[in-house]
Amino acid sequence: MNTINFHNGARSFRQLSAYLEARIRRGDWQAHEKLPSVRQLAQESGLHRLTILKAYQQLKECGLVYVRHKSGYYAAPPAVSARLDHVPAPVVFQGNMAALHQLPARYQFSQALIDPNLLPNHYFAEYMKEVFDLYPKLLGTYAQVQGDPELRELLAGYFRRSAQLHLDADELLITSGAQQAIHLIADIWIRPGDPVLVESPTYANAIDVFRQKGARLLSIGIQDGCYDLQEIEQMMQRYRPRLFYLNPTFHNPTGICIPVEQRKQLVDLAAQYECLLIEDDTCSDIYFDGKPPAPVFAYDTEGYTIHIRSFSKYISPGLRIACIAARQPWMSQLLAAKSLADGGSPLLNQKLFLHYFRSDRLHRHLDKLRIALRIRMEIMQQELDEAGWQYEQPQGGLSLWVRVPDHLSVPLLLRECLARQISLLPGSLFDIRERYEQHIRLSFSFASETQIREGMHELMIISRDINVQQRFE
Amino acid sequence: MNTINFHNGARSFRQLSAYLEARIRRGDWQAHEKLPSVRQLAQESGLHRLTILKAYQQLKECGLVYVRHKSGYYAAPPAVSARLDHVPAPVVFQGNMAALHQLPARYQFSQALIDPNLLPNHYFAEYMKEVFDLYPKLLGTYAQVQGDPELRELLAGYFRRSAQLHLDADELLITSGAQQAIHLIADIWIRPGDPVLVESPTYANAIDVFRQKGARLLSIGIQDGCYDLQEIEQMMQRYRPRLFYLNPTFHNPTGICIPVEQRKQLVDLAAQYECLLIEDDTCSDIYFDGKPPAPVFAYDTEGYTIHIRSFSKYISPGLRIACIAARQPWMSQLLAAKSLADGGSPLLNQKLFLHYFRSDRLHRHLDKLRIALRIRMEIMQQELDEAGWQYEQPQGGLSLWVRVPDHLSVPLLLRECLARQISLLPGSLFDIRERYEQHIRLSFSFASETQIREGMHELMIISRDINVQQRFE
């Protein structure tokens, strides 16, 4: 199956290289699998060996193949091509994060999910009955592609009152979680090779989605809770990215919050360089030091911001309800993409969410949730402090961004922790170049207080063992 | 905003043409919007006017721009580029079908949906309670990306017993409707320019999805309820398509059913030419002349068939539950794509569906539903017979594929019908080249018996009026 067929009629090295690239990207050769030799290809194709060689060279320059001395060309693994910023990774990226989440864990510090015991599950059975009484034929019909109008009206009102976002129901699209929102956006606006700005560190799943679409990822650092706006401007000027994906409010994984002044300057830059700001906002209700500033979207008068707002995490992950706020012409394009992607999110889930969202229980729930999460965070911080580990002080969110001591190998720590069913995420997942090798992300939202204390104790014992081991080696 | 910037450093007409193509595809110019003149571009870029002209010519050949005499180059609308088979349409395709479905209708003959009165809605409130009692924290957790294991086990058993599909729960992926299944498949396996086979006529939404991914669509005719297998083999040999999207059981829109012998031969062709068969099966329980043969998937020993099975239509459109059956390595790729697309379908919907699906109500429901739909179909056929209109006799499904008399203009009929809130679909939507200009699709599944009779009466009056009008013009 993995021979080359020349039905495609490649006649030049560029054509051949494009053809081989397409096949490598679709996974016709496994990572580290040997490609046909130059001699073999020349025989099969009738092309000159020099032409074949040039095609292979081009693929090498793109990081899609690598050479073993005196052996030949091999398909590069995703990690290799990922390290070269300008090279889109293979089409299907097997996210390590998803793989990690599937492992069994006694101490769950890897998923930034909220402990189901802290969620208002028991009310939903009640709402369910209400919803069926109100809409007996609810399950017999499709929802509007854009989402239930009643829910969109409610959310638009909520945004106007609570987040200074002035928008109409027509400027909202209901999606199946924030993950789908990111995917729709990537589907519309990223073609292979398109430059896309992301933060460093950034949300690992977003990296995967953008890579799947073939984006050329470029990253922007965050220092002391701020962007370097000069760096952003230079990047926009030089690469003309179509999108900048950002998470300015209780940033994942660091928990920082970008100040108002920078939010204002950012929308000016976006308009000047015609770069869409994709503002991912999943945690703005989980604050520890007071409410965050209004979203970037609120300061944008030119319409270059697209705002993703998820409620799943702290209301009901099981319903999978999020929304996108966008002005025209973006909303029309989003609607067309949503229509093709799944024809609209299920109506039942939207109506259930609506009934909870408009009750006054939401506010009480959030007040209690913030306290419960703060306690869990402080327990985790105590354990880290005792061990002398450094971490970013988060202003909100569900995780701690921890720097492990210099001598400690994170891959080793991860391996040993997973072996004892303590789950955590290595920092390298959060960066397009796999930097942050000495960082880990520990989520404090899922495990109970006791579990956090026990799990962190065990984690510290594991790290001391590794330390001793490393010294004797 | 729509000037050309030359930061991309295009130096040759090919580079310029590739650059302009990318911008046209991402919608930088609206359909029928004028592009910059040759002179203007030459001045801005410093390139020779001949180079610019050559670039425009190449775009014209691809159907991406068109020329108005003495005026210049204009961005081509999707319809124009769609007519040229080998040209991928713009990235975001505004499906006419979706637009049509949004219009108000007194007589709803356009959507192949089932009348909610015929669906088992009232049982679901009951199941809902059961489900919440059984899984009190259902809404607090995410489902597995692949779908609820309990549901996949149940469906695998059902497939083994009822459809001769021998598969494990691991070979099933739960999706949010068949639409998402098609979209995931296209997302993984279609790169811009990839040849994809479809039937003619075929499902309009599938055309839209494949076009969005930039597929080069090729179509296969259906004659007397059969494929021309020789034609299929020639197409596979010549174009080496990666996918063949087919709907062999109660085909939409014709209602025909491909015979067993052809199903067997098809899987051989697929294996020989390494072409994935994407078998869309949404209506196999809605038969009028006895059960259909086993799906193509059942005859495939080589693993080249991917089977999409939807239950939404005749159980509960509101839940949005469908599944994909696929062997390895396809299932791994599908899982990775689903993980990026939305992280998994909502668990609540899967559990509700599970509870209905395993009750013995399903069989009784289907028996009654088939009778009710048959009656509605026969009423619609009577009306057509009286008017002397021809139609394909469907063996199953929800619609009639009707040939309107030669003298009658379908666009005119559509316009007049929509004006009087009678909805129907023009045949041209079901073909990649917009053929079937004398066909319409009339669905008999949503309107009640009375509505069908009344609506068809009105439709015939409208068509006679058009006839008279046309004669006097």
Contact criterion met (CB < 8 Å) for A92 and B188: yes
DSSP-assigned letter for residue A93? -
Chains A & B: contacts with CB separation below 8 Å: 206
* Number of domains chain A contains: 3
Is residue A8 one of the residues assigned to a domain? Answer: no
Task: Decide which of B470 and A268 is more confident.
Answer: A268
Q: CA-CA distance, A90 to A81, in Å (whole number)?
A: 8
Beta-strand pair B216-223/B226-227 = antiparallel
Nearest-Cα residue of chain B relative to residue A320: B346
Describe chain A by its helix, strand, coil percentages, rounded to 5: 50, 15, 35
* pLDDT grade for B8, boundaries at 50, 70 and 90: very low
Pair (A387, A466) in one structural domain: yes
- Percent of chain B scored above 90 by pLDDT? 62
Instruction: Give chain B's largest Cα–Cα span.
Output: 75
Closest of A2, A20, A205 to residue A95, by C-alpha? A205
Residue A98 pLDDT: 67
Residue A81 pLDDT: 34
Q: Average of pLDDT values for B394-417? A: 95
Q: Examine the fold and report which residue of A335, A359, A383 is the final residue of a domain before the chain moves on.
A: A359
Closest partner residue to B318 among A22, A138, A318, by Cβ? Answer: A138
Contact criterion met (CB < 8 Å) for B129 and A124: no
Q: Average of pLDDT values for A423-441? A: 95
Q: Containing H/E element for A44?
A: helix A38-45
Q: CA-CA distance, A191 to A213, in Å (whole number)?
A: 6
Pair (B343, B384) in one structural domain: no
DSSP-assigned letter for residue B397? S
Interval A5-37: pLDDT, tens: 554 455 677 778 878 887 887 778 887 788 888
Pair (B294, B187) in one structural domain: yes
CA distances B139 to A114, A200, B70, B128, B472, Å, are 12, 32, 63, 12, 64
Pair (B356, B376) in one structural domain: no
Q: What's the alpha-carbon Rg for chain A, to the nearest Å? A: 24
Residue B315 pLDDT: 85
Of A44-58, A105-119, A225-239, B68-82, least confident by mean pLDDT is B68-82
Taking the CA of residue B398 and the nearest CA in chain A, the distance in Å comes to 16
The answer to whether residue A97 scores a pLDDT higher than 60 is: yes
Residue A78 pLDDT: 53
Is residue A91 one of the residues assigned to a domain? Answer: no
Is residue B3 one of the residues assigned to a domain? Answer: no
Taking the CA of residue A422 and the nearest CA in chain B, the distance in Å comes to 19
Contact criterion met (CB < 8 Å) for A337 and B274: no
Tokens of A340: 């093709």
Contact criterion met (CB < 8 Å) for B318 and A141: yes
Interval A191-214: pLDDT, tens: 889 999 999 999 999 999 999 999
Pair (B151, B286) in one structural domain: yes
**Cβ-based neighbour number of residue A312 at 10 Å:** 24
CATH number, domain of B156, equals 3.40.640.10
Task: Decide which of B55 and B369 is more confident.
Answer: B369
Residue A4 pLDDT: 53
Residue A301 pLDDT: 85
- Percent of chain A scored above 70 by pLDDT? 91
Contact criterion met (CB < 8 Å) for B342 and A183: yes
The answer to whether residue A84 scores a pLDDT higher than 60 is: no
Question: What average pLDDT is seen over chain B?
Answer: 87
Q: Examine the fold and report which residue of A359, A388, A418 is the final residue of a domain before the chain moves on.
A: A359
Pair (A104, A127) in one structural domain: no
ipTM of this predicted structure = 0.76
Q: What's the alpha-carbon Rg for chain B, to the nearest Å? A: 24
Beta-strand pair B322-325/B172-175 = antiparallel
Using a CB-CB distance cutoff of 8 angstroms, which residues of chain B are in contact with residue A94? 332, 336
Using a CB-CB distance cutoff of 8 angstroms, which residues of chain B are in contact with residue A188? 91-92
Say how far residue B111 (Cα) sits from the centre of its chain: 13
Contact criterion met (CB < 8 Å) for B346 and A343: no
Pair (B318, B383) in one structural domain: no
Residue B473 pLDDT: 62
Tokens of B24: 């046209």
Residue B89 pLDDT: 29
* pLDDT grade for A44, boundaries at 50, 70 and 90: confident
Using left for φ > 0, alpha for ψ between -120 and 50, and beta otherwise, residue A308 falls in beta
Is residue B321 one of the residues assigned to a domain? Answer: yes
Residue A10 pLDDT: 57
The answer to whether residue B287 scores a pLDDT higher than 70 is: yes
Is residue A191 one of the residues assigned to a domain? Answer: yes
CATH number, domain of B427, equals 3.90.1150.10
Interval B377-392: pLDDT, tens: 999 999 999 999 999 9
Residue A69 pLDDT: 58
Contact criterion met (CB < 8 Å) for B205 and A340: yes
Residue B88 pLDDT: 30
Print the domain residue range for A61: 13-76
The answer to whether residue B364 scores a pLDDT higher than 60 is: yes
Pair (B384, B240) in one structural domain: no
Helix residue ranges, H only, A62-148: 78-83, 96-102, 121-134
Residue B61 pLDDT: 67
CA terminus-to-terminus distance, chain B: 46
Of B226-235, B351-360, B425-434, least confident by mean pLDDT is B351-360
Of A109-118, A380-389, B393-402, least confident by mean pLDDT is A109-118
Is residue B102 one of the residues assigned to a domain? Answer: yes
Using CB atoms within 10 A of its CB, is residue A328 exposed (0-12), middle (13-18) or buried (19+)?
A: exposed
Pair (A58, A146) in one structural domain: no
Q: In what order do the strands lie in the sheet with B305-310?
A: B172-175, B322-325, B305-310, B276-281, B243-246, B195-200, B216-223, B226-227
Say how far residue B118 (Cα) sits from the centre of its chain: 24
Query: Tokens 């993984």 belong to which residue?
Result: B188
Contact criterion met (CB < 8 Å) for B188 and A319: no
**Cβ-based neighbour number of residue B196 at 10 Å:** 28
Contact criterion met (CB < 8 Å) for A320 and B346: yes
Using CB atoms within 10 A of its CB, is residue A291 exposed (0-12), middle (13-18) or buried (19+)?
A: exposed
Beta-strand pair B243-246/B195-200 = parallel
Q: In what order do the strands lie in the sheet with A195-200?
A: A172-175, A322-325, A305-310, A276-281, A243-246, A195-200, A216-223, A226-227
Pair (A33, A108) in one structural domain: no
Q: Average of pLDDT values for A60-66? A: 75
Pair (A337, A378) in one structural domain: no
Pair (B147, B288) in one structural domain: yes
Tokens of A269: 């830059």
Q: Average of pLDDT values for A229-249? A: 97
Contact criterion met (CB < 8 Å) for B191 and A129: no
Interval A258-317: pLDDT, tens: 999 999 999 999 999 999 999 999 999 999 989 999 999 999 988 999 999 998 888 888
Taking the CA of residue B125 and the nearest CA in chain A, the distance in Å comes to 6
Is residue A69 one of the residues assigned to a domain? Answer: yes
Is residue A101 one of the residues assigned to a domain? Answer: yes
Question: Contacts from A94-97 at CB under 8 Å and sequence distance 24+?
Answer: A94/B332, A94/B336, A95/A204, A95/A205, A95/A208, A95/B336, A95/B339, A95/B340, A96/A204, A96/A429, A97/A204, A97/A205, A97/A208, A97/A425, A97/A429
Using a CB-CB distance cutoff of 8 angstroms, which residues of chain A are in contact with residue B176? 176, 342, 345-346
Q: CA-CA distance, A353 to A453, in Å (whole number)?
A: 34
CATH number, domain of A44, equals 1.10.10.10
Q: Examine the fold and report which residue of B342, B361, B380 is the final residue of a domain before the chain moves on.
A: B361
Taking the CA of residue B195 and the nearest CA in chain A, the distance in Å comes to 11
Taking the CA of residue A96 and the nearest CA in chain B, the distance in Å comes to 11
The answer to whether residue B427 scores a pLDDT higher than 70 is: yes
Tokens of A344: 């609209």
Interval B256-285: pLDDT, tens: 999 999 999 999 999 999 999 999 999 999
* pLDDT grade for B141, boundaries at 50, 70 and 90: confident
Using a CB-CB distance cutoff of 8 angstroms, which residues of chain A are in contact with residue B337? 92, 212
The answer to whether residue B11 scores a pLDDT higher than 50 is: yes
Q: CA-CA distance, B350 to B147, in Å (whole number)?
A: 8
Taking the CA of residue A336 and the nearest CA in chain B, the distance in Å comes to 6
The answer to whether residue B64 scores a pLDDT higher than 70 is: yes
Contact criterion met (CB < 8 Å) for A92 and B333: yes
Question: What average pLDDT is seen over chain A?
Answer: 87
